[in-house]
Structure 1
Amino acid sequence: MKFHHLVIAVLSCAALQFGFAEPVGAASGATSTKVSKATKATKTKKASTRQTVRKRAAKAAPRKVSAQRSLAAAAPVAAAVEVDRLGLPLLRSSAFLIQNQNTGEVLLEKKSDAVLPIASITKLMTAMVVLDGGQSLSEEVVITDEDLDTLKGTGSRLALGTRLTREQLLHLALMSSENRAASALGRSYPGGIAAFVNAMNIKARMIGLADTHFSDSTGLNPMNVSSPRDLARMVSAASTYPLIRQFSTSSEEHVQIGSRVQRFGNTNSLVRSPEWEIGLSKTGYIQEAGRCLVMQAWVNKQPVIIVLMDSDGRYTRTADAVRVKKWMEAAATQRVAVGPGGSS
């Protein structure tokens, strides 16, 4: 009998330790009652804790939503592209300006007055001066050793002796950023390259570019400088030339070079994207300038000028342009959802 009671006591202790609610054995009534009460107390405490957590979460949720609505573009924008605490997109270019071309409203800017090298963005001015000069576009121009890049040592598929029309050179300079093509365009201008560069700087003043100066027709010279604000004006001016719009946004061109037909592609991959409607485009790169991109594009049925300067990574300028577009589209969607009266 003593042994039987000892077994019951051991099992009862185990029940207390592991939270069994049912009695262990016929003679364990008092112990079972204590175990049951302890278990119920534990369950009640857990349930109470869960209710408290739910109540706190319910109270906190409205405050979080309210804080999000106070941002410039709110949740849909954050979901579309990474934004800062004000709801503005985080861009990787060191200087930029995004502007509505119709209204002149600046949508985004950073260091928009900083004067920086512009690399091959220069070729937009080269094209305007060529077209303003009224020279025959069908006239053939020969690539000579004067068109070789002795400054940066860049190569070209336009070999010495290549004969192309001025129109073909203009196309390759704008679409593929061909340096020898841009050099030949400036060199064949009445008065030579010196007169051409002078005409570039006069044109810059005529269209109100106070921060801009040119030293060559290619952009290889880092003394070719401008600011994001000036480049926005230059893009707007260049967009009035139908041939510049056409050549700078064409995706590719096949050109007879000697005995071979060679394919030249656009340096801006976005012109081939069905998600973009681009009216004008130009890329640029030298070490001093970083990677640059200027565009006139249609976003939310509005013409927008995008100027991105001094990007480090190879694809950063393109990625920044995509971020801008997504941010604008998401912000427009948010305005429609919220309505003119404020938060929804």
Structure 2
Amino acid sequence: MRVLLPLHLAILILLTAGMARASAEAPNLASVNAAVAYVDDGELIVAKNAQRVVPIASVTKLMTALVVLESEQPLGEWLEFYPRHLPAAANAYTRIRVGSEMRRRDMLRIALMSSENFAAYTLARHYPGGYDAFVAAMNAKARALGMNDSQFVDPTGLSSDNRSTAADLVKLALAAAQHPEIGEYSTSRYFTGRFRQPRYSLSYGNTNVLVHRDSWGVALSKTGYLDEAGRCLVMVAEVGGRQLVHVLLDSFGSRSPVGDAGRIKRWLQTGAPGRVAGAAKAYELRRNAQYASANTAGSAQ
């Protein structure tokens, strides 16, 4: 026997369901550009300016790690830190002494977990064919992954000419997640690097605070920052029993990507879109205007 609901009650139910779907479709994020997808299917469930080509800062180092590992060079090999043959595009401060040596696996670890730029640079210098061959391999791998809106000019991310989209970086994260070493190295909480010739050690900490929280189950992580790129985070973490890729680009403050990750998690659990601070909204308006202006200038040339 069918139960007929009063018209006003039926309308209320439909409106409530519609509101729930609307809120579930639109989490509020401080990041100006973002993409989110489950690892098991790769389909975007959040896309905010996901096709916009932008600088990606040290998120670049995920591609660096991919190229290093797929070269199958020995991870236990000791490598020398050569003097730079090219000036760095931005501040490249390092505590590492030129001429000292470190194992390839440890260079890769500190490049990922602590964003050590000299380590990423040195990995490229020791690639078969040298630095230029390494950068070429980065771009070849991007094409192979279908990252059609991405380009790489250096292995560190210090150049703002390393550019990609949030959607392309989901593809990169999915590929990187296939390598257990990238997951392990990028989520190391702390690490003591051992060097030789001369012998010394340096302590490193992870640049993503969420790897220190067991409740997040972070399986892969890379942060990034340049003035041109804002605060960036690419992360794979467990949400609701499934692995979720977060790509959060150009955020206002150092904790904004972390706040966005929390908003995404709550949105998936409750459907609540969350709130973003007024300063972050103002930053987004300003950055969107700058992107629009840059695109207009580029089209006019």
Same structural fold, with TM-score higher than 0.5 when normalized by the shorter chain:
yes
Instruction: Please give the secondary structure, in 1, of the residue aligned with 2:158.
Output: coil
CA distance in structure 2 between the aligned counterparts of 1:243 and 1:129, rounded to whole angstroms: 13
Structure in which a larger fraction of residues adopt helix: 1
Per-residue displacement from partner, 1:24-69 (whole Å, max 9, x unpaired)? xxxxxxxxxxxxxxxxxxxxxxxxxxxxxxxxxxxxxx99998555
The Cα RMSD (Å) is 2.4
Are 1:246 and 2:246 counterparts?
no
CA spacing shift, 1:226–1:236, aligned 2, 3 Å: same
1:71–1:87 contact (8 Å) kept in structure 2? no
Show the counterpart of 2:51: 113
For the 8 Å contact 2:121–2:156, the answer to whether it is kept is yes
For 1:1-344, list aligned pairs within 5 A: 68-72=16-20, 88-146=26-84, 150-257=88-195, 258-331=198-271
Query: In the alignment, what sits opposite 1:48?
Result: none
Q: For the structure 1 residues 147 and 306, does the alpha-carbon distance in structure 2 shift closer, same or farther, using more than 3 Å as the test? A: farther
> Contact 2:113/2:222 (CA < 8 Å) preserved in 1?
yes
Match for 1:254: what amino acid?
T
Larger radius of gyration: 1
Inter-partner Cα distance in structure 2 for 1:331 and 1:224: 35
* Counterpart in the other structure of 1:79: none
State the TM-score, normalizing by the size of structure 2. 0.81
Deviation at 1:156, TM superposition (A): 1.0
CA 300–147 in structure 1, closer or farther in 2 if over 3 Å, else same? farther
Measure, in 1, the Cα distance between the counterparts of 2:23 and 2:241. 27
Aligned length: 263
What secondary structure is seen at the aligned counterpart in 1 of 2:102? strand
| Secondary structure of the structure 2 residue equivalent to 1:298 | strand
User: What whole-Å deviation, never above 9, does each CA across 1:164-214 have from its counterpart, x for those lacking one?
Assistant: 011110111111110000000001111111000001111111111101110
Aligned partners of 1:66, 1:205: CA distance in 2, in Å?
A: 45
Structure 2 letter corresponding to 1:118: I
Q: Matched residues in 2 for 1:210 and 1:89: separation? A: 27
Q: Provide the secondary structure at the position in 2 that maps to 1:275.
A: helix
Gaps of 5+ in 2: 1-9, 273-301
Provide Cα deviations, 1:272-294, integer angstroms capped at 9, x if missing partner: 11220111111111111111101
Unmatched segments (≥5 aa) in structure 1: 1-61, 74-83, 333-344
- Distance across 2 between alignment mates of 1:321 and 1:147: 38
SS at match of 1:70: helix
Once residues 104 and 171 of structure 1 are traced to their aligned partners in structure 2, the CA distance between those partners, rounded to angstroms, is 26
Question: Is the contact between residue 140 and residue 165 of structure 1 (CA under 8 Å) also seen in structure 2?
Answer: yes
Separation in 2 of the partners of 1:146 and 1:316?
33
Q: What is the CA distance between 1:102 and its match in structure 2?
A: 1.4
Residue 259 of structure 1: how far off its partner (Å):
4.8
- TM-score under structure 1 normalisation? 0.71
2:192 counterpart SS class: strand
Q: Distance in 1 between matches of 2:48 and 2:270?
A: 21
The one-letter amino acid paired with 1:219 is G
Q: Which moved more, 1:229-238 or 1:271-280?
A: 271-280
- Return the letter of the residue paired with 1:70: G
The higher relative CO (CA closer than 8 Å, separation ≥ 6) is in 2
